[in-house]
Structure 1
Amino acid sequence: MGLVGILVGLALLIALAYRGWSVLLLAPIAALIAAAFAGEPLLAHWSQTFMGSAARFLAQFFPIFLLGALFGKLMDDSGSVTAIAGAMTRRLGARRAILAVVIAGAIVTYGGVSLFVAFFVLAPMAEALFRAADIPRRLMPAAIALGTSTFTMSALPGTPSIQNAIPMPFFGTTPFAAPGLGVIASIVMLVFGLAWLARAEASARRRSEGFGPGILADVDAAAADEIVRERATVAQEFDPAEIRHGHHAEQGPPLLAAFAPLVVVVLVNLVMSLVVLPRLDLTYLAEPRWGSTSLSAVGGVWSVVVALATAIVAVVALNLRRLSELRASMDAGANASVLPAVSVASLVGFGAVVAALPAFEVVRDWVLSIQGGPLVSLAASTNILAALTGSASGGMTIALDALGSTYMGLAAELGIDPSLLHRVAVIGSGTLDSLPHNGAVVTLLAVCGTTHREGYFHIVMVGIVGAVLGLVAVIALGSVFGSF
């Protein structure tokens, strides 16, 4: 009955979340249903297991949610994201419309700008470019997704995304784990995605299919849509409802000033990870007052936090006059982090209750028995849970909470570098999370004014198939050459 309870709870969570129910309500209810089927104490699981795990997740990662959302909002309100995207689209032009959209999205998201902020800025620019180039509107979501939601989220070393941060406390790694493999995976995803979109564009031109009728969807309406919001807040670290709060600058900064905070994020992250923190005497962290922890457990998160905080100071200093309502922008950015963080924490609490049930041993044994070794089973577990929850961050955290220590033991036994586990877990979480119910997919289609029927197939090709190919490359090369 315990296994049946897990399946019933998971089915309820998926079905009602897809219909727009809040995960804040669904996750504890689903967890209690699973516990009830197993005959476990319900209140103890809710207050101790569920809330304890959710609280630990927030304690570890809320600073990244907070600073990431705040940085994205300030970059948007200062006009910096618009300036960067506009520069890319002008320089590459309508003749290279798809490439312009992809590169613009990649630059801003690798620099730390929230995925949803990028969506709302890039969609109008992509619409203008695609209309001028007479490229079908249905390819717009895939082009934006390729630049914002694939290699810059999961593969490029040093990306400040929450997905890249989650494995660090489990594996004692940094944001730059397995950099060579990450770059290779990024190349695979980018080349495959561009090739697919070029093929789709050429096919449309042979059929004389132009941009098509209609106008761009109202981004304000998309941001205010409650169902979009509920799905979106478990997919990324920014609440779409806050996208239009604050005050957007009428004129953006010069290009160099717009780029500078993105460069700050990458450089400070690198220096903190590889130079500053390893040279500090942090033995005091082993004391009980600091949680009896270690640099390997907190260093990665610290690097990202310092990088984002420094970049926030930079964007404010460079755009103080443009941020005419700085407090309102900062309030909106801070508020935008809360619902996503708590929603993902609730998913993590659900996973903790499931992992604590006796029947979960069957699931764990099945995952570990997957042919191909620990790398393949780790990729499969993060894939499956990200797909079921519609959340790369939530699915990966559930998998690592339940199995992280097991994989670390296997890594020590088999001589596998934890950095390789890190990169496999992150890329694995960013593949099947892009199923139709994923909040980022729903939001992207809404702001582009397309339906699942029109635009989703191409998102699958660039966001799932391309990512799976990158994951296969990392597992194959990592199995032969180890982490590099």
Structure 2
Amino acid sequence: MHLIILILSLGTIMFLAYKGYSTIITAPIVALVTLLLTFGFDSHLMANYTLVYMDGFAGFVKNYFPLFLTGAIFAKLMEETGYAHAIAHTIIRWLKPERAILAVVLSGALLTYGGVSLFVVAFVLYPIATLLFKEADIPKRLIPGTIALGAFTFTMTALPGTPEIQNVIPMTYFKTDTFAAPGIGLLASALIFGLGMLYLNNQAARAKKVNEGYGESMEQKTKIPSKTPSIWLALAPIVVIFSANLFFSKFYYPYIDGSYLEKYNTTLDSQSGTWSVIISIVIAIVLILLLNIGKIKNLQSVLDQGVKNSFVPLLNSSAIVGYGSIIKTLPIFASIQTMILNLSPNPIITEALSVNIICGLTASASGGLGITLNALAPTFLQMSEPLGISPELLHRIAALASGGLDTLPHNGAVITTLAIFGLTHKQSYKDIFFTSVIIPITVTALIVILTSFVYR
């Protein structure tokens, strides 16, 4: 019975998200109904709802509001100063208009591999992607799927050395580093990138055959500056984010004493990654303002708009994280974990299945990965030892598996990206599904089959 309730709950939240209903409204309602059907009218009902749900909701706001806020302001300033326009047209000259999809994918990959948060990437790429796709007359509805390929897939989970949290979490459990199993990581990255590009280019070609263009009616026109800034000036803020993030995360925070954080019940390792990104974006914002003193005549309204642009995506994502917190408390959740573990004696297979499914249930790659490894990593290591499977391979499989079912319709990054571009699930989710669910799962399955033949 509990399994049926869980399936109905997940089906409902995904259906409503696909139909365009805001998760700010639907997530708490569906969470409450799920608790009601599971536990009935007992004394714990409202406690689970107001404490568990709201702890998840508030925890996400606490952790990510600075990233959403600074990211939205940075993106608005990039648009207002014409920097995004300059970058877009330079890329067009280098790659030609028909390669706008490749340009956005590579831009997203560069930013995420540089350590920029997935949520921030969508804000940063908004003005660039809209200009590129408009110039090439490629449907705007393909932009979220294109960003998903560049930011939510191979640079998040597969590419060796990526600083994204999905590649960092396994380090704690397997005592590895971000470059674990580099050969497998590079192979998976190439396959995901190649298959994703084939799919997106095919969709663009189909749209062209039926004369479907960008679709200007979908949004207000992006402001085009009368004078395009220098490309080197336009790239400076992005270079600053990349280099400052690298400096703070690799050369500053690792060498300072973080013992003072004990009174906050946290560690420097768990906070420094976020701090590095926030500081880097703030430095980039200050740089833009200094380079454009007196040029931005309506600075107050620009900043105000940037702040407003951060609110709806933040609340949408927070609502779905709160929903995931409720799902984790259900009795069936632990039963599903146990059932998956018993499916195969091969830890590569059980790890890939458990991570992917738990990430789907929680609608979070990092959340599902953390939950699974916290509970099962010692078991995976124990199962691997007699088979000669290295912790590095377990690390890479776990990271790869986290980037599949996590981006179902109720995923926070999906909802955020669609909200930023003013698109609905009905318009754009199909492409996100293919680039960030179907293709990564297919590649992960191929990697699992390949490695399972070696370690039988």
| TM surpasses 0.5 | yes
Paired residues, number: 437
TM-score normalised to structure 1 length: 0.72
| Whole-angstrom distance in 2 between the partners of 1:146 and 1:31 | 30
Cross-structure match for 1:125: 132
Amino acid at match of 1:395: S
Identity fraction in percent: 31
Write the deviation string for residues 435-471 of structure 1: whole angstroms up to 9, x where unpaired: 6785478679987x9x86xx98776654445433554
Q: Does 1:266 align with 2:242?
A: yes
Cross-structure match for 1:42: 45
Written as runs of structure 1 = structure 2, the 5 A alignment for 1:427-446 is: 427-432=400-405, 439=415
| Whole-angstrom distance in 2 between the partners of 1:251 and 1:425 | 48
| Whole-angstrom distance in 1 between the partners of 2:380 and 2:58 | 28
Q: Is the 8 A contact 1:285 1:295 kept in 2?
A: yes
Q: Does 1:290 align with 2:264?
A: yes
More displaced, 411-420 or 77-86? 411-420
Cross-structure match for 2:326: 353
Q: Is the 8 A contact 1:273 1:299 kept in 2?
A: yes
More displaced, 90-99 or 293-302? 90-99
Amino acid at match of 1:17: A
Amino acid at match of 1:129: A
How many Å apart are 1:259 and its aligned residue? 1.0
Q: Is the 8 A contact 1:411 1:417 kept in 2?
A: no
Q: Which runs of 5+ in 2 are unaligned?
A: none
Q: Secondary structure at the match of 1:32?
A: helix
Cross-structure match for 1:32: 32
**1:216 paired residue among 211, 214, 217:** 214
Q: Is the 8 A contact 1:387 1:435 kept in 2?
A: yes
Amino acid at match of 2:86: A
More displaced, 185-194 or 370-379? 370-379
What is the RMSD of the two structures over their aligned residues, measured on CA atoms? 4.5
Amino acid at match of 1:9: S
Q: Secondary structure at the match of 1:38?
A: helix
Cross-structure match for 1:313: 286
Q: Is the 8 A contact 1:146 1:193 kept in 2?
A: yes
Cross-structure match for 1:338: 311
| Whole-angstrom distance in 2 between the partners of 1:211 and 1:409 | 54
How many Å apart are 1:285 and its aligned residue? 1.6
How many Å apart are 1:169 and its aligned residue? 7.2
How many Å apart are 1:261 and its aligned residue? 1.5
Q: Is the 8 A contact 2:316 2:416 kept in 1?
A: no
Cross-structure match for 1:114: 121
Q: Is the 8 A contact 1:69 1:114 kept in 2?
A: no
| Whole-angstrom distance in 1 between the partners of 2:238 and 2:393 | 26
Cross-structure match for 1:178: 179
Q: Does 1:54 align with 2:61?
A: no
How many Å apart are 1:402 and its aligned residue? 4.1
Write the deviation string for residues 366-399 of structure 1: whole angstroms up to 9, x where unpaired: 243354756655544554466678xxxx432552
How many Å apart are 1:314 and its aligned residue? 2.4
How many Å apart are 1:427 and its aligned residue? 4.6
Q: Secondary structure at the match of 1:11?
A: helix
TM-score normalised to structure 2 length: 0.75
How many Å apart are 1:98 and its aligned residue? 5.2
Cross-structure match for 1:82: 85
Distance 1:410 1:65, change over 3 A: farther
Amino acid at match of 2:245: N
Cross-structure match for 1:230: none
Write the deviation string for residues 6-42 of structure 1: whole angstroms up to 9, x where unpaired: 3332232222222222212222222222222232521
Write the deviation string for residues 418-449 of structure 1: whole angstroms up to 9, x where unpaired: 987776566545444566785478679987x9
Q: Which runs of 5+ in 1 are unaligned?
A: 224-242
Write the deviation string for residues 335-383 of structure 1: whole angstroms up to 9, x where unpaired: 2222222322222222222222333221221243354756655544554
| Whole-angstrom distance in 1 between the partners of 2:104 and 2:187 | 22
How many Å apart are 1:2 and its aligned residue? 3.4
Distance 1:123 1:155, change over 3 A: farther
Q: Is the 8 A contact 1:252 1:322 kept in 2?
A: no
